[in-house]
Protein backbone atom coordinates (compact mmCIF):
# COMPACT_ATOMS: atom_id res chain seq x y z
CA UNK A 1 0.00 0.00 0.00
CA UNK A 2 2.74 2.45 0.96
CA UNK A 3 4.60 1.75 -2.27
CA UNK A 4 1.49 2.74 -4.26
CA UNK A 5 1.28 6.00 -2.32
CA UNK A 6 4.92 6.68 -3.16
CA UNK A 7 4.24 6.08 -6.85
CA UNK A 8 1.29 8.51 -6.80
CA UNK A 9 3.33 11.15 -4.97
CA UNK A 10 6.19 10.63 -7.40
CA UNK A 11 3.95 11.23 -10.43
CA UNK A 12 2.44 14.32 -8.78
CA UNK A 13 5.92 15.65 -8.03
CA UNK A 14 6.94 15.28 -11.66
CA UNK A 15 3.73 16.93 -12.90
CA UNK A 16 3.17 19.78 -10.45
CA UNK A 17 6.49 21.55 -10.95
CA UNK A 18 6.27 22.38 -14.68
CA UNK A 19 2.53 23.12 -14.51
CA UNK A 20 2.79 25.69 -11.70
CA UNK A 21 4.73 28.40 -13.53
CA UNK A 22 7.86 26.27 -13.48
CA UNK A 23 7.75 26.53 -9.66
CA UNK A 24 10.66 28.95 -9.52
CA UNK A 25 9.21 32.04 -7.91
CA UNK A 26 6.60 33.15 -5.40
CA UNK A 27 4.04 30.85 -3.88
CA UNK A 28 4.07 28.60 -6.96
CA UNK A 29 7.16 26.79 -5.72
CA UNK A 30 5.79 25.39 -2.46
CA UNK A 31 3.45 22.63 -3.75
CA UNK A 32 6.39 21.10 -5.62
CA UNK A 33 8.77 21.38 -2.68
CA UNK A 34 6.26 19.82 -0.28
CA UNK A 35 5.50 16.95 -2.66
CA UNK A 36 9.20 16.36 -3.35
CA UNK A 37 9.92 16.21 0.38
CA UNK A 38 7.04 13.80 1.03
CA UNK A 39 8.16 11.58 -1.85
CA UNK A 40 11.72 11.54 -0.55
CA UNK A 41 10.74 10.75 3.06
CA UNK A 42 8.16 8.08 2.23
CA UNK A 43 10.50 6.53 -0.33
CA UNK A 44 13.13 6.02 2.36
CA UNK A 45 10.48 4.55 4.66
CA UNK A 46 9.45 2.05 1.98
CA UNK A 47 13.05 1.10 1.19
CA UNK A 48 15.35 2.04 4.11
CA UNK A 49 18.84 3.27 3.15
CA UNK A 50 20.84 0.08 3.32
CA UNK A 51 23.08 -1.69 0.83
CA UNK A 52 26.34 -3.61 0.63
CA UNK A 53 27.58 -1.48 -2.28
CA UNK A 54 30.43 0.95 -1.60
CA UNK A 55 28.97 3.35 -4.16
CA UNK A 56 25.77 3.55 -2.12
CA UNK A 57 27.60 4.74 0.97
CA UNK A 58 29.57 7.26 -1.10
CA UNK A 59 26.18 8.63 -2.16
CA UNK A 60 24.92 8.71 1.43
CA UNK A 61 28.01 10.57 2.64
CA UNK A 62 27.73 13.14 -0.18
CA UNK A 63 24.01 13.76 0.43
CA UNK A 64 24.36 14.04 4.21
CA UNK A 65 27.50 16.16 3.85
CA UNK A 66 25.70 18.68 1.64
CA UNK A 67 22.70 18.77 3.97
CA UNK A 68 24.92 19.41 6.98
CA UNK A 69 26.96 22.07 5.20
CA UNK A 70 23.88 23.91 3.95
CA UNK A 71 22.22 23.71 7.35
CA UNK A 72 25.31 24.99 9.11
CA UNK A 73 25.76 27.93 6.73
CA UNK A 74 22.14 28.96 7.28
CA UNK A 75 22.38 28.56 11.05
CA UNK A 76 25.61 30.55 11.28
CA UNK A 77 24.53 33.29 8.85
CA UNK A 78 26.41 36.57 9.31
CA UNK A 79 23.98 39.09 7.82
CA UNK A 80 20.47 39.57 6.46
CA UNK A 81 19.53 41.57 3.39
CA UNK A 82 17.51 44.78 3.51
CA UNK A 83 16.19 45.50 0.03
CA UNK A 84 13.99 48.45 -0.94
CA UNK A 85 12.16 48.69 2.37
CA UNK A 86 12.03 50.79 5.50
CA UNK A 87 14.01 49.36 8.41
CA UNK A 88 14.12 51.17 11.75
CA UNK A 89 12.94 54.38 10.10
CA UNK A 90 15.49 54.30 7.29
CA UNK A 91 14.62 53.57 3.63
CA UNK A 92 17.17 51.06 2.35
CA UNK A 93 17.53 50.29 -1.34
CA UNK A 94 20.22 47.69 -0.73
CA UNK A 95 21.87 47.00 2.58
CA UNK A 96 23.28 44.13 4.63
CA UNK A 97 22.70 44.19 8.39
CA UNK A 98 24.63 41.89 10.78
CA UNK A 99 22.64 39.08 12.37
CA UNK A 100 22.29 39.89 16.04
CA UNK A 101 23.89 37.19 18.15
CA UNK A 102 25.53 35.19 15.35
CA UNK A 103 26.31 31.82 17.02
CA UNK A 104 29.95 31.46 15.90
CA UNK A 105 31.42 34.67 14.42
CA UNK A 106 34.81 33.07 13.83
CA UNK A 107 33.41 30.26 11.67
CA UNK A 108 31.93 30.41 8.15
CA UNK A 109 28.30 31.26 7.68
CA UNK A 110 25.92 32.31 4.91
CA UNK A 111 25.96 35.88 3.62
CA UNK A 112 22.21 36.23 4.03
CA UNK A 113 19.95 34.08 6.18
CA UNK A 114 16.77 34.55 4.11
CA UNK A 115 18.46 33.85 0.77
CA UNK A 116 20.18 30.79 2.27
CA UNK A 117 16.83 29.41 3.35
CA UNK A 118 15.28 30.24 -0.03
CA UNK A 119 17.87 28.04 -1.76
CA UNK A 120 17.98 25.31 0.90
CA UNK A 121 14.20 24.93 0.77
CA UNK A 122 14.77 23.72 -2.80
CA UNK A 123 18.17 22.02 -2.56
CA UNK A 124 17.37 19.84 0.47
CA UNK A 125 14.28 18.17 -1.12
CA UNK A 126 16.35 17.53 -4.26
CA UNK A 127 19.12 15.87 -2.23
CA UNK A 128 16.52 13.77 -0.44
CA UNK A 129 15.05 12.77 -3.80
CA UNK A 130 18.44 11.64 -5.13
CA UNK A 131 18.87 9.17 -2.26
CA UNK A 132 15.21 8.10 -2.21
CA UNK A 133 14.92 7.56 -5.98
CA UNK A 134 18.14 5.56 -5.92
CA UNK A 135 16.54 3.15 -3.45
CA UNK A 136 13.15 3.08 -5.16
CA UNK A 137 14.67 2.35 -8.57
CA UNK A 138 17.14 -0.23 -7.26
CA UNK A 139 14.32 -2.14 -5.56
CA UNK A 140 11.91 -1.62 -8.47
CA UNK A 141 9.29 0.15 -6.36
CA UNK A 142 9.24 2.81 -9.07
CA UNK A 143 9.59 1.49 -12.60
CA UNK A 144 11.75 3.27 -15.14
CA UNK A 145 8.77 3.21 -17.49
CA UNK A 146 6.68 5.13 -14.95
CA UNK A 147 9.44 7.64 -14.29
CA UNK A 148 10.20 8.43 -17.93
CA UNK A 149 6.58 8.25 -19.05
CA UNK A 150 5.44 10.80 -16.45
CA UNK A 151 8.15 13.29 -17.35
CA UNK A 152 7.47 12.85 -21.06
CA UNK A 153 3.68 13.25 -21.02
CA UNK A 154 3.82 16.33 -18.79
CA UNK A 155 6.37 17.68 -21.26
CA UNK A 156 3.91 17.01 -24.10
CA UNK A 157 1.27 19.08 -22.31
CA UNK A 158 3.70 21.94 -21.72
CA UNK A 159 4.81 21.78 -25.36
CA UNK A 160 1.22 21.86 -26.61
CA UNK A 161 0.42 24.82 -24.36
CA UNK A 162 3.48 26.72 -25.54
CA UNK A 163 2.73 26.09 -29.22
CA UNK A 164 -0.88 27.20 -28.74
CA UNK A 165 0.26 30.40 -27.03
CA UNK A 166 2.75 31.29 -29.74
CA UNK A 167 0.42 30.48 -32.64
CA UNK A 168 -2.45 32.43 -31.07
CA UNK A 169 -0.31 35.42 -30.08
CA UNK A 170 -0.96 35.02 -26.34
CA UNK A 171 1.54 36.70 -23.99
CA UNK A 172 0.97 34.43 -21.03
CA UNK A 173 -0.88 31.42 -19.70
CA UNK A 174 -4.52 31.52 -20.76
CA UNK A 175 -5.95 31.04 -17.28
CA UNK A 176 -3.69 33.62 -15.60
CA UNK A 177 -2.94 37.31 -15.84
CA UNK A 178 -0.19 38.20 -18.30
CA UNK A 179 3.24 37.85 -16.75
CA UNK A 180 5.71 39.88 -18.75
CA UNK A 181 9.50 39.53 -18.71
CA UNK A 182 11.06 42.96 -19.22
CA UNK A 183 8.67 43.75 -22.03
CA UNK A 184 9.85 40.88 -24.25
CA UNK A 185 7.42 38.44 -25.81
CA UNK A 186 9.47 35.35 -24.93
CA UNK A 187 6.95 33.79 -22.54
CA UNK A 188 6.56 30.11 -23.47
CA UNK A 189 4.01 27.76 -21.88
CA UNK A 190 4.41 27.90 -18.10
CA UNK A 191 7.97 29.26 -18.22
CA UNK A 192 9.02 32.90 -18.36
CA UNK A 193 12.27 32.20 -20.22
CA UNK A 194 12.67 30.47 -23.59
CA UNK A 195 16.00 28.93 -22.55
CA UNK A 196 14.53 27.41 -19.40
CA UNK A 197 11.39 26.21 -21.19
CA UNK A 198 13.41 24.60 -23.98
CA UNK A 199 15.84 22.95 -21.53
CA UNK A 200 12.91 21.30 -19.78
CA UNK A 201 11.40 20.27 -23.12
CA UNK A 202 14.71 18.79 -24.28
CA UNK A 203 14.84 16.56 -21.21
CA UNK A 204 11.26 15.41 -21.88
CA UNK A 205 12.17 14.89 -25.55
CA UNK A 206 15.05 12.52 -24.82
CA UNK A 207 12.95 10.50 -22.39
CA UNK A 208 10.12 10.45 -24.94
CA UNK A 209 12.35 8.85 -27.58
CA UNK A 210 13.32 6.19 -25.03
CA UNK A 211 9.65 5.65 -24.17
CA UNK A 212 8.76 5.12 -27.85
CA UNK A 213 11.58 2.63 -28.42
CA UNK A 214 10.76 0.72 -25.24
CA UNK A 215 7.02 0.53 -26.00
CA UNK A 216 7.55 -0.76 -29.53
CA UNK A 217 10.06 -3.37 -28.39
CA UNK A 218 7.95 -4.56 -25.44
CA UNK A 219 4.77 -4.91 -27.49
CA UNK A 220 6.52 -6.65 -30.38
CA UNK A 221 8.31 -9.13 -28.12
CA UNK A 222 5.09 -9.99 -26.29
CA UNK A 223 3.16 -10.32 -29.58
CA UNK A 224 0.83 -7.55 -28.41
CA UNK A 225 -1.04 -6.05 -31.37
CA UNK A 226 -2.00 -2.40 -31.48
CA UNK A 227 0.20 0.47 -32.57
CA UNK A 228 -2.07 3.26 -31.30
CA UNK A 229 -0.14 4.04 -28.12
CA UNK A 230 3.35 3.95 -29.70
CA UNK A 231 2.08 6.23 -32.46
CA UNK A 232 0.67 8.62 -29.84
CA UNK A 233 4.08 8.62 -28.13
CA UNK A 234 5.79 9.38 -31.43
CA UNK A 235 3.40 12.25 -32.11
CA UNK A 236 4.13 13.53 -28.61
CA UNK A 237 7.84 13.40 -29.38
CA UNK A 238 7.16 15.45 -32.51
CA UNK A 239 5.24 18.08 -30.50
CA UNK A 240 7.97 18.40 -27.90
CA UNK A 241 10.70 18.69 -30.53
CA UNK A 242 8.85 21.37 -32.50
CA UNK A 243 8.07 23.26 -29.28
CA UNK A 244 11.72 23.18 -28.23
CA UNK A 245 12.68 24.76 -31.55
CA UNK A 246 9.78 27.23 -31.48
CA UNK A 247 10.51 28.40 -27.92
CA UNK A 248 13.26 30.60 -29.30
CA UNK A 249 16.34 29.66 -27.29
CA UNK A 250 19.41 29.56 -29.53
CA UNK A 251 21.45 27.10 -27.49
CA UNK A 252 18.52 24.86 -26.53
CA UNK A 253 17.44 24.50 -30.17
CA UNK A 254 20.94 23.29 -31.03
CA UNK A 255 20.83 20.88 -28.07
CA UNK A 256 17.49 19.45 -29.24
CA UNK A 257 18.99 18.53 -32.61
CA UNK A 258 22.28 17.33 -31.11
CA UNK A 259 20.42 15.22 -28.54
CA UNK A 260 18.45 13.42 -31.25
CA UNK A 261 21.63 12.90 -33.26
CA UNK A 262 23.29 11.45 -30.15
CA UNK A 263 20.35 9.07 -29.79
CA UNK A 264 20.75 7.93 -33.39
CA UNK A 265 24.53 7.59 -33.17
CA UNK A 266 24.48 5.78 -29.83
CA UNK A 267 21.55 3.48 -30.63
CA UNK A 268 21.87 2.81 -34.35
CA UNK A 269 21.44 -0.96 -34.03
CA UNK A 270 18.48 -0.58 -31.69
CA UNK A 271 16.87 1.92 -34.07
CA UNK A 272 17.06 -0.60 -36.89
CA UNK A 273 15.53 -3.27 -34.67
CA UNK A 274 12.67 -0.94 -33.76
CA UNK A 275 11.98 -0.43 -37.46
CA UNK A 276 11.74 -4.21 -37.85
CA UNK A 277 9.57 -4.60 -34.74
CA UNK A 278 7.10 -1.84 -35.63
CA UNK A 279 5.13 -3.74 -38.36
CA UNK A 280 4.46 -6.52 -35.85
CA UNK A 281 2.12 -4.17 -33.97
CA UNK A 282 -0.26 -3.86 -36.96
CA UNK A 283 -2.93 -6.51 -37.68
CA UNK A 284 -1.56 -6.99 -41.19
CA UNK A 285 2.07 -7.02 -40.11
CA UNK A 286 2.83 -5.01 -43.21
CA UNK A 287 5.95 -2.88 -43.45
CA UNK A 288 4.05 -0.64 -45.89
CA UNK A 289 1.85 0.70 -43.09
CA UNK A 290 4.95 1.31 -40.99
CA UNK A 291 6.63 3.22 -43.81
CA UNK A 292 3.58 5.42 -44.41
CA UNK A 293 3.12 6.30 -40.75
CA UNK A 294 6.78 6.84 -39.94
CA UNK A 295 7.29 8.74 -43.18
CA UNK A 296 4.39 11.08 -42.40
CA UNK A 297 5.61 11.72 -38.86
CA UNK A 298 9.21 12.09 -40.02
CA UNK A 299 8.12 14.62 -42.63
CA UNK A 300 6.22 16.50 -39.93
CA UNK A 301 9.41 16.55 -37.84
CA UNK A 302 11.35 18.14 -40.67
CA UNK A 303 8.67 20.57 -41.83
CA UNK A 304 7.68 21.53 -38.29
CA UNK A 305 11.24 22.16 -37.25
CA UNK A 306 11.97 24.26 -40.33
CA UNK A 307 8.67 26.13 -40.46
CA UNK A 308 8.70 27.16 -36.80
CA UNK A 309 12.41 27.85 -36.50
CA UNK A 310 12.02 31.50 -37.52
CA UNK A 311 12.21 32.68 -33.90
CA UNK A 312 15.55 30.91 -33.36
CA UNK A 313 16.93 32.11 -36.69
CA UNK A 314 15.96 35.70 -35.91
CA UNK A 315 17.58 35.47 -32.49
CA UNK A 316 20.81 34.08 -33.95
CA UNK A 317 20.76 36.82 -36.57
CA UNK A 318 20.12 39.52 -33.98
CA UNK A 319 22.82 38.11 -31.74
CA UNK A 320 25.34 38.14 -34.59
CA UNK A 321 24.47 41.69 -35.60
CA UNK A 322 24.73 42.77 -31.98
CA UNK A 323 28.18 41.27 -31.52
CA UNK A 324 26.85 38.40 -29.38
CA UNK A 325 26.07 40.80 -26.57
CA UNK A 326 24.41 38.21 -24.34
CA UNK A 327 27.47 35.96 -24.53
CA UNK A 328 29.74 38.91 -23.72
CA UNK A 329 27.55 39.81 -20.73
CA UNK A 330 27.76 36.25 -19.44
CA UNK A 331 31.52 36.30 -19.76
CA UNK A 332 31.52 39.51 -17.70
CA UNK A 333 29.34 37.78 -15.10
CA UNK A 334 31.83 34.90 -14.98
CA UNK A 335 34.55 37.46 -14.31
CA UNK A 336 32.52 38.75 -11.37
CA UNK A 337 32.25 35.24 -9.94
CA UNK A 338 35.99 34.69 -10.32
CA UNK A 339 36.46 37.84 -8.24
CA UNK A 340 34.18 36.33 -5.58
CA UNK A 341 36.24 33.15 -5.45
CA UNK A 342 39.46 35.13 -5.18
CA UNK A 343 38.17 37.01 -2.14
CA UNK A 344 39.96 35.96 1.05
CA UNK A 345 36.60 35.42 2.81
CA UNK A 346 35.65 32.69 0.33
CA UNK A 347 36.74 29.25 1.52
CA UNK A 348 35.93 25.56 1.64
CA UNK A 349 32.23 26.24 2.31
CA UNK A 350 31.91 29.21 -0.03
CA UNK A 351 29.70 32.18 0.73
CA UNK A 352 26.65 30.06 1.45
CA UNK A 353 23.51 29.07 -0.51
CA UNK A 354 21.81 32.00 -2.19
CA UNK A 355 24.88 34.23 -1.88
CA UNK A 356 25.20 35.02 -5.59
CA UNK A 357 22.05 37.16 -5.67
CA UNK A 358 23.24 39.21 -2.71
CA UNK A 359 26.91 39.59 -3.62
CA UNK A 360 26.71 40.10 -7.37
CA UNK A 361 26.05 43.88 -7.29
CA UNK A 362 28.90 44.33 -4.80
CA UNK A 363 31.51 42.37 -6.77
CA UNK A 364 30.60 43.96 -10.11
CA UNK A 365 32.60 46.96 -8.95
CA UNK A 366 35.39 44.79 -7.58
CA UNK A 367 35.78 42.98 -10.90
CA UNK A 368 35.26 46.18 -12.91
CA UNK A 369 32.74 44.30 -15.03
CA UNK A 370 30.73 45.94 -17.79
CA UNK A 371 27.31 45.08 -16.32
CA UNK A 372 24.64 47.66 -15.49
CA UNK A 373 21.91 45.41 -14.11
CA UNK A 374 21.32 43.04 -11.24
CA UNK A 375 21.26 39.32 -11.97
CA UNK A 376 19.19 36.83 -9.99
CA UNK A 377 21.14 33.86 -11.39
CA UNK A 378 24.63 33.56 -12.79
CA UNK A 379 23.85 32.01 -16.21
CA UNK A 380 26.55 29.49 -15.26
CA UNK A 381 25.32 26.97 -12.72
CA UNK A 382 28.78 25.51 -12.15
CA UNK A 383 30.45 28.76 -11.18
CA UNK A 384 27.46 29.80 -9.10
CA UNK A 385 27.56 26.52 -7.20
CA UNK A 386 31.31 26.92 -6.65
CA UNK A 387 30.82 30.46 -5.32
CA UNK A 388 28.00 29.50 -2.99
CA UNK A 389 29.16 26.08 -1.77
CA UNK A 390 32.96 26.35 -1.97
CA UNK A 391 35.33 23.60 -3.04
CA UNK A 392 33.99 21.24 -0.37
CA UNK A 393 30.31 21.50 -1.29
CA UNK A 394 31.11 21.87 -4.98
CA UNK A 395 33.13 18.67 -4.81
CA UNK A 396 30.26 16.78 -3.18
CA UNK A 397 27.83 18.04 -5.82
CA UNK A 398 30.30 16.89 -8.49
CA UNK A 399 30.38 13.41 -6.92
CA UNK A 400 26.57 13.24 -6.91
CA UNK A 401 26.12 14.27 -10.53
CA UNK A 402 29.15 12.40 -11.90
CA UNK A 403 28.12 9.21 -10.09
CA UNK A 404 24.57 9.37 -11.42
CA UNK A 405 25.70 10.16 -14.95
CA UNK A 406 28.37 7.46 -14.92
CA UNK A 407 25.93 4.88 -13.57
CA UNK A 408 23.41 5.71 -16.28
CA UNK A 409 26.00 5.79 -19.05
CA UNK A 410 27.59 2.53 -17.93
CA UNK A 411 24.28 0.66 -17.73
CA UNK A 412 23.03 2.28 -20.94
CA UNK A 413 26.05 1.69 -23.17
CA UNK A 414 29.10 0.04 -21.61
CA UNK A 415 27.79 -2.85 -19.51
CA UNK A 416 24.32 -3.72 -20.74
CA UNK A 417 24.65 -7.45 -20.10
CA UNK A 418 22.20 -8.60 -17.45
CA UNK A 419 19.88 -5.62 -17.97
CA UNK A 420 16.52 -5.73 -19.68
CA UNK A 421 16.66 -4.01 -23.05
CA UNK A 422 13.85 -1.66 -22.03
CA UNK A 423 15.88 -0.65 -18.95
CA UNK A 424 18.84 0.07 -21.20
CA UNK A 425 16.70 2.29 -23.43
CA UNK A 426 15.28 4.29 -20.54
CA UNK A 427 18.71 4.69 -18.98
CA UNK A 428 20.12 5.97 -22.27
CA UNK A 429 17.33 8.50 -22.49
CA UNK A 430 18.01 9.66 -18.95
CA UNK A 431 21.74 10.03 -19.61
CA UNK A 432 21.17 12.08 -22.79
CA UNK A 433 18.59 14.22 -20.95
CA UNK A 434 21.22 14.94 -18.30
CA UNK A 435 23.72 15.92 -21.01
CA UNK A 436 21.22 18.40 -22.50
CA UNK A 437 20.65 19.99 -19.11
CA UNK A 438 24.33 20.06 -18.10
CA UNK A 439 25.44 21.67 -21.37
CA UNK A 440 22.71 24.31 -21.06
CA UNK A 441 23.86 24.96 -17.48
CA UNK A 442 27.13 26.37 -18.87
CA UNK A 443 25.35 29.41 -20.29
CA UNK A 444 22.02 29.45 -18.46
CA UNK A 445 20.57 28.56 -15.06
CA UNK A 446 18.35 25.44 -15.46
CA UNK A 447 19.61 23.83 -12.25
CA UNK A 448 18.46 26.87 -10.27
CA UNK A 449 14.88 26.29 -11.43
CA UNK A 450 12.89 24.08 -9.06
CA UNK A 451 10.87 22.13 -11.62
CA UNK A 452 13.96 21.28 -13.69
CA UNK A 453 16.18 20.67 -10.67
CA UNK A 454 13.73 18.12 -9.25
CA UNK A 455 13.64 16.17 -12.53
CA UNK A 456 17.42 16.36 -12.79
CA UNK A 457 17.70 15.04 -9.20
CA UNK A 458 15.39 12.15 -10.12
CA UNK A 459 17.59 11.27 -13.10
CA UNK A 460 20.71 11.46 -10.94
CA UNK A 461 19.16 9.17 -8.32
CA UNK A 462 18.04 6.73 -11.00
CA UNK A 463 21.58 6.71 -12.41
CA UNK A 464 22.91 5.68 -9.01
CA UNK A 465 20.34 2.88 -8.76
CA UNK A 466 20.09 1.36 -12.24
CA UNK A 467 23.14 -0.86 -11.84
CA UNK A 468 21.15 -2.80 -9.24
CA UNK A 469 18.52 -3.66 -11.86
CA UNK A 470 20.88 -6.13 -13.52
CA UNK A 471 20.75 -9.78 -12.49
CA UNK A 472 23.82 -9.59 -10.27
CA UNK A 473 22.89 -6.22 -8.82
CA UNK A 474 19.38 -7.34 -7.98
CA UNK A 475 20.75 -10.12 -5.79
CA UNK A 476 23.00 -7.79 -3.81
CA UNK A 477 20.19 -5.28 -3.24
CA UNK A 478 17.82 -7.96 -2.02
CA UNK A 479 15.17 -9.18 -4.44
CA UNK A 480 13.00 -10.55 -1.62
CA UNK A 481 12.51 -7.04 -0.35
CA UNK A 482 11.44 -5.89 -3.79
CA UNK A 483 8.87 -8.66 -4.13
CA UNK A 484 7.43 -7.92 -0.70
CA UNK A 485 7.05 -4.20 -1.40
CA UNK A 486 5.58 -4.47 -4.87
Model pLDDT for residues 220-241, shown as the tens digit of each residue: 887 776 778 888 998 899 899 9
Per-residue pLDDT, 366: 85
Q: What is the pLDDT of residue 352?
A: 95
Tens digit of pLDDT for each residue in 78-89? Answer: 998 888 777 777
Question: Distance between CA atoms of 10 and 393, rounded to whole angstroms?
Answer: 27
Mean predicted confidence (pLDDT) in 92-96: 79
Lowest mean pLDDT among 140-154, 166-180, 410-424: 166-180
Q: Which of the pair, 483 or 309, is modelled with greater confidence?
A: 309
Q: What is the 3-state secondary structure (H, E, C) of the chain?
A: CHHHHHHHHHHHHHHHHHHCHHHCCHHHHHHHHHHHHHHHHHHHHHCCCCCCCHHHHHHHHHHHHHHHHHHHHHHCCCEEEECCEEECCEEECCEEEECCCCCCCCCCCCCCHHHHHHHHHHHHHHHHHHHHHHHHHHCCCCCHHHHHHHHHHHHHHHHHHHHHHHHHCCCCCCCCCCCCECCECCCECCECCHHHHHHHHHHHHHHHHHHHHHHHHHHHHCCCCCCHHHHHHHHHHHHHHHHHHHCCCHHHHHHHHHHHHHHHHHCHHHHHHHHHHHHHHCCCCCHHHHHHHHHHHHHHHHHHHHHCCHHHHHHHHHHHHCCCHHHHHHHHHHHHHHHHHHCCCCCCCCCCCCHHHHHHHHHHHHHCCCCCCCCCCCCCHHHHHHHHHHHHHHHHHHHHHHHHHHHHHHHHHHCCCCCCHHHHHHHHHHHHHHHHHHHHCCCCCHHHCHHHHHHHHHHHHHHHHHHHHCHHHHHHHCHHHHHHHC
pLDDT confidence band for 183 (50 / 70 / 90): very low
Other C-beta atoms within 10 Å of 99: how many?
17
Residues of the chain with pLDDT > 90, as a percent, come to 45
The pLDDT of residue 476 is 46
**Residue range 460-475: mean pLDDT, rounded:** 75
Of 105-114, 271-280, 401-410, least confident by mean pLDDT is: 271-280
Q: What is the pLDDT of residue 430?
A: 94
Answer whether residue 14 shows pLDDT above 90: yes
Say yes or no to pLDDT of 95 above 80: yes
pLDDT > 70? residue 479? no
Segment 170-182 shows an average pLDDT of 62
Please report the pLDDT score of residue 472 as a whole number. Answer: 47
Separation CA 209–CA 211 (nearest Å) = 5
Confidence (pLDDT) at 481: 44
> How far is it, in rounded angstroms, from Cα 411 to Cα 389?
30
> Which of 2-11, 114-123, 410-419 is the least confident region?
410-419
Return the top range by mean pLDDT from 149-163, 317-331, 413-427.
Answer: 149-163
Q: Judge whether residue 478 has pLDDT over 60.
A: no
How far apart are alpha carbons 371 and 329 in whole angstroms? Answer: 7
| Per-residue model confidence (pLDDT) at position 480 | 41
Average the pLDDT over 98-111 and give the result: 91
Residue 26 pLDDT greater than 90, yes or no: no
Predicted local distance difference test score (pLDDT) of residue 475 = 43
| Average pLDDT over all residues of the chain | 84
Which pLDDT belongs to residue 412?
76
User: Quick one: pLDDT band at residue 483, thresholds 50, 70, 90?
Assistant: very low
Q: What pLDDT sits at residue 284?
A: 67
CA distance 349 to 65: 11
Contact 100, 69 (CB under 8 A): no
In this predicted structure, what is the pLDDT of residue 177? 62
Above 90 in pLDDT, residue 456? yes
Q: How confident is the model at residue 169 (pLDDT cuts 50, 70, 90)?
A: confident
Q: Tell me: the pLDDT tens digits for 280-338?
A: 777 766 677 777 777 777 777 666 666 666 666 666 566 655 665 577 888 888 999 99
pLDDT of residue 179: 54
Q: pLDDT (tens digit, 9 = 90+) per residue, 346-390? A: 989 999 999 999 999 888 888 888 887 778 899 899 999 999 999
- Does 402 score more than 60 pLDDT? yes
137 band by pLDDT with thresholds 50, 70 and 90? very high
Is 442 or 475 the better-scoring residue by pLDDT? 442
Contact 170, 415 (CB under 8 A): no
Amino acid sequence: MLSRVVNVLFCLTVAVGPLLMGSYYGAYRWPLLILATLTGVLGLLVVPPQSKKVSFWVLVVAVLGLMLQGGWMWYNARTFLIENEIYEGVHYLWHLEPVAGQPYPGLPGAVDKAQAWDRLSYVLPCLLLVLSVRQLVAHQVIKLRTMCGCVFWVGVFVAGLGLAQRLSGAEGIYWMDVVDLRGRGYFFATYRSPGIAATYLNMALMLGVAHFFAEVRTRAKSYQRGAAYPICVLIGVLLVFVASIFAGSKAAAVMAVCGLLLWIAGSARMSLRILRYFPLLFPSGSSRERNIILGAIGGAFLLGGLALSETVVERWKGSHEGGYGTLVARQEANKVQVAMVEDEEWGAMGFGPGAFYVLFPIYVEVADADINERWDYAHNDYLQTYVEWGWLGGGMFAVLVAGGFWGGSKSGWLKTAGHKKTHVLYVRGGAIAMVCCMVQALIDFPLQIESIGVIFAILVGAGWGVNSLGRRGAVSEGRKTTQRLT
